[in-house]
Amino acid sequence: MDWTPLILTFKLALITTLILLLIAIPLGAWLAFSKSKSKPFLETLISMPLVLPPTVLGFYFLITFSPNSWLGGLLNDWFDIKLVFSFPGLVIASVIYSLPFMVHPVQSGLSSLPSSLREASIVMGKSKRTTLFKVLLPNIKPSLLTGFVLTFAHTVGEFGVVLMIGGNIPGKTKVASIAIYDEVEALNYGNANQYSLILFAITFTILLLVYVVNRKEIKRWWK
Amino acid sequence: MIEIAIHKALNGQKGKMILDLDFKVEPNQITALYGPSGAGKTTAFRIVSGLLMPEKGRIVVNGETWLDTSRKISLSPKERKIAYVFQDYALFPNMSVENNILFAAGKNPDKNKVKELIETFHLYDLRNQKPQNLSGGQQQRVALARALIQEPNLLLLDEPLAALDNEIRVRLQDFLLEIQVRYSLSILLVSHDIAEIHKLAKHVLHILEGNIVKSGSPVEVFTGKVSENTLNVYGKTLSIDRLKNRITVLVNQEKLILDISEEKILDIKVGDLIMLSFSTENTEIYTGIK
């Protein structure tokens, strides 16, 4: 059996999750505390991947970044960056596609904290940054863990977006979900079964771990 | 001297309201804000601490201008020497008792001061505990210690004892008086409890729908009388014996049985707050205290 699709899958999931963590913390904090009028608009935009077929996202991504388009051509000619049918393109599409899975837990975690925690820190003269990193984030660890794992698992489970913009290039964009589809098409049910079983076992273990850890965390919290 | 004048339109629970307060706070004593929920007391605290900006306002603390909208001056909460004890204490659950105090102390904490406060507030044995493992009274002591390490020129206490049971409440009232004297604190206190205000505060502002309707000493505000050679004690009516014209009153955790005139007993219901006014000449009982 070829292990590269599985390794590629987990590499993609890990990189996507780490990038999203960096993006989702400031974004989630803004959404949790801002009273701006543009907030519902941004919230809607972030939630779109939840309801949109992945092929829609993949289609627009393809149109926007193909070398024949304005932006894709610019990136290709000036910076020698090819986002379509490449791993970096896959990462960017995955980040957009999994955005709600990271932003929502961070946002709801932060909004569920009593506002007095934040205000107490501000009156003490702490900056917004110190307040976020020293006071708020340490108290929403279960939410951060949930976001981390949901994003990871969701990226592992991607199919439509990857197929649309990544194609099926071995070692570059051929992730496990695509490999399974490929093997089934070629009637290699044995190989498909191996990939599927491994994916099933690993994702099951990750999710189980989270539920067990979060339960302990919550118990410790309320003791 | 601390001068506070604020004006802000609010969207309260009962619709639109104008918060318009103008008062002075004597330094080194406790001034109470008294009034129903939604009267604007907590909003006033948020403005004084710099969390909220009023439309018009002027706050001068010991000669330092914190806010003057006419001169476009508004210090950030960091620049105001203020500490705020929230109604829910707002202790940080991720930090131990000691770290809560150290965090408030800032970058270069005065270790001796921290140690002294931990001892004064009887927190030494609890210093490594997380706040959520402490009782309400203990949490309140941590919140006060954390406020004092900031060496505030003005200390805001938003119903600091409301969530505690009666016995601890009385003990902490005594403790609060003790530290107020010890650290010469200027305190603004929000309270619903007349007995508590009477015990703690020298001055009280009665606030209704955003305005000060009465101000003065607690006796002046709550009974309309000026005290001279008198001691006023509040108590809760526990039972009424109409045959013997006697009532039982709970005063400072002690039961007190009082003989009372026939017409006065008709005014009293079980649970009512009454005030006993002991003067050098005689003892008066006031009913109908709200």
pLDDT of residue A109: 95
* B82 bridge partner residues: B154
How many Cα atoms sit within 13 Å of B126 on the Cβ side? 23
Contact A47, A31 (CB under 8 A): no
pLDDT value of position A223 = 45
Q: Per residue of chain B (290 residues), what is the pLDDT tens digit?
A: 899 999 999 886 667 889 999 999 989 999 999 988 888 899 999 999 999 999 999 999 999 999 999 999 999 999 999 999 999 999 999 999 999 999 999 888 888 999 999 998 899 999 999 999 999 889 999 999 999 999 999 999 999 888 788 888 888 899 899 989 988 999 999 998 888 898 999 999 999 888 999 999 888 888 766 556 677 788 888 888 888 888 998 887 788 888 888 888 888 888 888 888 777 777 777 776 65
Using the CB atoms, write b or e for A168-182: b if 16+ within 10 Å.
eeeeebbbbbbbbbb
Report, as ranges of residue numbers, the positions in chain A whose pLDDT lies below 50: 223
Q: State residue A82's pLDDT score.
A: 80
Chain A CB contacts of B49 below 8 Å: 123
Q: Which residues pair with B30 in a beta bridge?
A: B187
Residues of B in contact with A114 (CB under 8 A): 88, 90
Q: Which residue of A has its CA nearest to B52?
A: A119
Check CB contact under 8 Å for A123 and B83.
yes
ipTM for the predicted complex? 0.80
Name the residue in chain B with its Cα closest to that of A135. B92
Task: Tell me whether residues B77 and A122 touch, CB distance under 8 A.
Answer: yes
Check if A134 contacts B (Cβ < 8 Å).
yes
A 10 A CB-CB count for B221 gives 21
Smallest Cβ–Cβ distance between A120 and the set B50, B79, B86 belongs to B86
Which of B45, B75, B91, B92 is most worth mutating to test chain A (most A CB atoms within 10 A of its CB)?
B92
Chains A, B: CB pairs < 8 Å: 54
The CA distances from residue A66 to A18, A86, A171, in Å, are: 26, 11, 21
CB distance A122–B104 less than 8 Å? no
Contacts of A117 in chain B (CB under 8 A): 90, 92
Please indicate whether, in this complex, the C-beta atoms of B84 and A123 are within 8 angstroms of each other: yes
CA distance B66 to chain A (A): 13
3-state secondary structure of B199: helix
Which chain B residue lies closest to A222 (C-alpha atoms)? B132
Q: Which tokens in the block code for residue B206?
A: 């009665």
Q: How far is B214 from chain A (nearest CA, A)?
A: 29
Contacts of B87 in chain A (CB under 8 A): 116
Q: What's the confidence (pLDDT) of residue B290?
A: 58
Q: Do A221 and B93 touch (CB under 8 A)?
A: yes
Contact A123 B50 (CB under 8 A): yes
Cβ-Cβ contacts under 8 Å, B84 against chain A: 119-120, 123
A114–B contact, CB cutoff 8 A = yes
**Residue from the list A114, A222, A223 with its beta carbon closest to the beta carbon of B88:** A114
Option in B51, B104, B132 nearest A122 (CB): B51
Nearest residue, CB atoms, B88 vs list A116, A124, A135: A116
d(CA A177, CA A181): 7
